[in-house]
Structure 1
Amino acid sequence: MEPMQQHPSRSTPTEHRWPSVVALVVALALYAALPNDFLGSQRFVVVVFGVALLVPLVVTNPHRLTRRSSFTKWISIALVCGLVVANQLTIVLLIIALAVDGVDDAHGLLLAAVQVWVANVIAFALLYWELDRGGPVTRTMTARVDLPAADLRFPQDVDDDAVTEVAARSSVVRDWMPRFVDYFYTALSTSMAFSATDAMPLSPRFKLLMALQAFGGFVILALVIARSVSILG
């Protein structure tokens, strides 16, 4: 598969592959390290599934995201959706362990909660990154007039009429496009504030996704972590 040619109207650099790969590896490592009492051998199914799907994605775009095909795009989206679903099921298992099984291993429960919370942030960051404006390849390679409608509005998208030093980083002046780190920060702040902070959701699907992420973060904080601290006390 030959690299795509960036449209002449675009000046934004193409995106590196490694930030998303590192984040995904961290999420899978967290699953592998979960205590056996809270998630048994099922966690390794998630890890193997993630690694198996990660291989063709890295082979297609080993350094910079300049190649695109419907096959790799849907594999990537399927991988991230699987990780999001698996993480929501893990949250349910933690709640069952807490409310039904009466688990009193505070240290194990707290460790599992932190691991699941971090993995949840990474999973949603990857999902936002894969879906918004057609994905990472389309965002930097395609003419803006041909981009799909945005799912998120970042501050840089509306800063072109601000003071000079702020406008210099705007989408209009600099051809700015969100990178993985921007979606990671959005996912992180959503999990901590339980609402949109940096980027505002524009589409119904992203409003629902951010609501699901915020709810999951709230459940982990309010029930699992709070219960762990209570047991420790």
Structure 2
Amino acid sequence: MAWGVTAAEEPRWRASLAVLVALLLYVTLPQRLTIGPQWLAPIFELALLIPLSVLAPNRTSRERRWQRNAAITLIAIVNAANLVSLVLLVHFLVAPGAKATGSELIVSSIEIWLTNVIVFALWYWELDRGGPHERTSEQHRAPDFLFPQMVTPDCAPPDWSPTFVDYLFVSFTNATAFSPTDTMPLSPAAKALMIVQAIASLLTVALVAARAVNILG
């Protein structure tokens, strides 16, 4: 089966690039949608991202515990910063007397939505079968996601294994459809993450965008 093979070592640069995009989206948000200095979260993110990218450019079975912990901490910081921005955006949406133009709300909601896609792609990438480092080991655990290539082996090489781009696609489709599409969550953790992402995406797209074009209120 497709998930029974040992995955090849995966370069970190795709995930690192995604983090940089999320960082740029964050610093372009209005100041009112961040807590504290707007540069604070990006500084912490870069302090983790740069050493990881330089010292461990590939995710391998030889990955050290601190590298794994640093990667998870990095995702958590990006996730927390984006969640705070979403909460503040909803607050300014419903707060009496809040002054925000429709264009400002639309642009901010798009930035938060895109960051939501990126951060959950990172979570899925780190979760599935114990993470990209564990997927390169023969002792990797059972899959958390069922990709089409796993049940239709004729569509992929025998040694196929998902990469970050595959998880980015899963995140994008879940954020747009508010449900799984071609890839199914198998583990409780994967299902819980997809539920949280769908709720955040629904808040951003349905509530904020609707208010921005004066459909609500």
Structure-1 separation of matches of 2:171 and 2:18: 13
1:54 maps onto 2:49 in alignment: yes
Q: 1:151 maps to what in 2? A: 144
Aligned residue pair count = 210
Q: List structure 1 runs of 4+ shifted beyond 3 angstroms.
A: 9-13, 40-43
Q: 2:194 maps to what in 1? A: 210
Q: 2:102 maps to what in 1? A: 106
Q: 2:120 maps to what in 1? A: 124
Structure-1 separation of matches of 2:8 and 2:34: 41
1:95 maps onto 2:79 in alignment: no
1:137 maps onto 2:121 in alignment: no
Note the residue ranges of structure 2 that are not aligned, 5 or more in a row.
none
1:222 maps onto 2:215 in alignment: no
The within-5 A match list for 1:30-41 is: 30-39=25-34, 41=36
Q: Give deviations 1:87-137, integer Å, cap 9, x for gaps.
A: 122111100011015333212111111111001110010111012112112
Which amino acid is 1:153 matched to? L
Greater RCO structure (CA 8 Å; 6+ sep): 2
Secondary structure of 1:174's partner? coil
Conserved? CA contact 1:134–1:147, under 8 Å: yes
Conserved? CA contact 2:34–2:84, under 8 Å: no
**How far has the Cα of 1:138 moved from its partner?**
2.0
The within-5 A match list for 1:194-209 is: 194-209=178-193
The more displaced of 107-116 and 186-195 is 107-116
Conserved? CA contact 2:121–2:170, under 8 Å: yes
Question: Please, what is the CA RMSD of the aligned residues?
Answer: 1.9
Secondary structure of 2:54's partner? helix
Structure-2 separation of matches of 1:105 and 1:40: 21
Residue in structure 1 matching 2:59, options 53, 56, 65: 65
TM-score normalised to the size of structure 1? 0.84
Conserved? CA contact 2:10–2:132, under 8 Å: yes
Which amino acid is 1:129 matched to? W
**How far has the Cα of 1:149 moved from its partner?**
2.0
1:174 maps onto 2:158 in alignment: yes
The structure that has the greater radius of gyration is: 1
**How far has the Cα of 1:10 moved from its partner?**
5.6
Note the residue ranges of structure 1 that are not aligned, 5 or more in a row.
1-8, 161-166
Q: Taking structure 1 as reference, are residues 12 and 149 closer, same or farther at Cα in structure 2, changes over 3 Å only?
A: closer
Structure-2 separation of matches of 1:12 and 1:135: 11
Which amino acid is 1:65 matched to? R
Structure-2 separation of matches of 1:16 and 1:186: 19
Identity rate, percent: 39
**How far has the Cα of 1:11 moved from its partner?**
7.0
TM-score normalised to the size of structure 2? 0.89
